[in-house]
A and B are shown apart, each in its own frame.
Chain A
Amino acid sequence: MDNSPEKEELIDRYLTGMADEAEVEQLDAWLKEDEQLRKTFLTATRMDSHIRERSLEQPVKKEAGSSGPPTLRFRWINPGAAAGLLIGLFSASVVWATIPQAGGIIRTSQEVVTESFEDPDLKLKPMIPNRANQWFGPLVSVAPEGGVSAVQGSRVGQLSPNPGNRVESVRYVVDLNDYPELAPRHVQSLQVKASFSAPFTGQEPKFRVELAAFSEAPGDVREAWQQERVSGDRVLQQVMRNHLPPADELGEWHEVSASLEIPEGSRSVVISLVVFRLDPDKPVSDFYLDGIEVRLVDTFLPSS
């Protein structure tokens, strides 16, 4: 199992993206002739894979000893996302507002994500999410045309249904470990608002915002999701809001909102923005999504 430190260091440089062309060529030559080194290399790639799995599960780090809302110090963005690895303060994405309510109830609201699909190169992966903080679904960013105007910004998300499917979804997983733990007599809820439009469908669409809380970490939500469909015992709490637009308002934007009270023991909340083609015999055309806002609301209920 022993290889020279030089060879092991080169494997490390390759796996961390530090190796240059000459080094890759050298490693290739060594691997070709040395079976033991191939075993070492594969062990190293497996370690790298396991470390990466763990790193994707890591919650955002919070400053210790702070009594107020946390300041984010480090945040690792998923490598699948266009932004890649970002390090530093994300204070702009953590906007807190305190809203005093009648009866002494205090409500604090924190922005989780806003999305209006402004990146022209955005093309989401059409799959069930396997990580937090990233949108998934059959959606691309487009400039609105044909009488469609954006709700926010200058672009919209175009959701193109597969002809064989009556239902398509865009999904996002919120990792609750990224946010402060609940104090006694506090209740947390996730509020989601999204605008849907189906100007060219010529048929009856249905729009839905669906929120589901799971105890699983974001990396395990896909499996839990599938098990839920089979055995129905994995979702801790679920809310869905449907909207059936009137036939003469199909070209307009329809804002659909839903709020989920997050039960104890939740780790992930899956947000699904769903469109239905109610009449599968009518031709398939695109749906549009825009103006998505997700907020985490913390409500303090003082003892009476």
Chain B
Amino acid sequence: MSQDPIDQSDFMRLFVRHERDLRVFARGMLPNWPAVDDVLQEASVVMWKKLHQLEKEEDFFTWARVIVRYEALRARRNAARDRLVFSEETLELLADEAMSTTGDDLKQERAVLNGCLMKMGDEQRELVFAASMRDGGVKELAEATNRTANSLYKLIGRLRASLRECVKREMKTREQAHG
């Protein structure tokens, strides 16, 4: 393994490789996707400036998550008057828990979820996607399709629950298959 110092071109490569997983980590602490975008943007600038602190490429994901965690908490303090965010104590607990998830865990989950999505009908899949695109997506979809937000939410909720069950079941099967 090379012990060369990590330079800025390495940073771009590492950041791009881990960006999706860092977004997943940030989502666990932040109330919506625009907040995730903002925190990732700020965190990437901090990472760039503090790159000299990173000794080994293998440590990038852990190191980067510490920075994302700090920036997410900072964003929460700036939005302290927003009543739709969790308390700092809860965010710290969630961040502690989320640090134990590895990149391999996420890779496996993605593969399993893709399989479960493929088992759904096209329209069901579109509804699930619509709900995850942005906050208020369900309300906008309800207006566009002349349905009540509540009835649509219930339908999407059922679809998401069935997806969760499918993922849970498939993960269990994989765990059993691998001893």
Contacts and interface: CB of A to CB of B under 8 A. Distances in A.
A17 B24 CA distance: 17
B7 interface: no
A90 to B, nearest CB: 13
B33 A47 contact: no
B80 to A, nearest CB: 13
Contact of A16 (B12, B84, B106, B132): B132
Contacts of A79: 33-34, 133-134
B141 A76 contact: no
Contacts of B139: 17-18
B137 A16 contact: yes
Contacts of A17: 32, 134-139
B130 A76 contact: yes
Interface stretch (B51-59, B66-74, B108-116): B108-116
A39 B97 contact: yes
Given A24-B84, A24-B85, A28-B87, A223 B16 contact: yes
Interface in B127-179: 128-141, 144, 149, 153, 156-157, 160-161, 163-164, 167-168
A24 B83 contact: yes
A61 B137 CA distance: 18
A46 B101 contact: yes
Contacts of B168: 1
B12 A18 contact: no
Judged by DSSP, the binding face of B is helix
Interface residues of A, number: 57
A41 B163 CA distance: 15
A32 B97 CA distance: 12
Interface stretch (A48-56, A107-115, A190-198, A281-289): A48-56
Contacts of B136: 17
Contact of A51 (B93, B128, B134): B128
Nearest to B106: A46
Interface in A59-87: 61, 74, 76, 79-80, 84-85, 87
Interface of A: 1, 8-9, 12-19, 21, 24-25, 27-28, 31-32, 35, 38-39, 41-55, 58, 61, 74, 76, 79-80, 84-85, 87-88, 125, 127-128, 130, 222-223, 225-227, 229-230
19 contacts: A12-B160, A16-B137, A18-B139, A18-B149, A21-B84, A24-B31, A38-B94, A38-B97, A42-B98, A46-B106, A50-B24, A51-B117, A51-B129, A52-B132, A76-B129, A80-B37, A85-B133, A127-B44, A223-B17
Given A18-B149, A21-B83, A52-B132, 20 more contacts: A1-B168, A9-B157, A15-B132, A16-B137, A19-B84, A21-B84, A24-B83, A28-B86, A28-B90, A38-B97, A42-B98, A46-B24, A47-B113, A49-B23, A51-B163, A85-B134, A88-B144, A128-B12, A222-B19, A223-B17
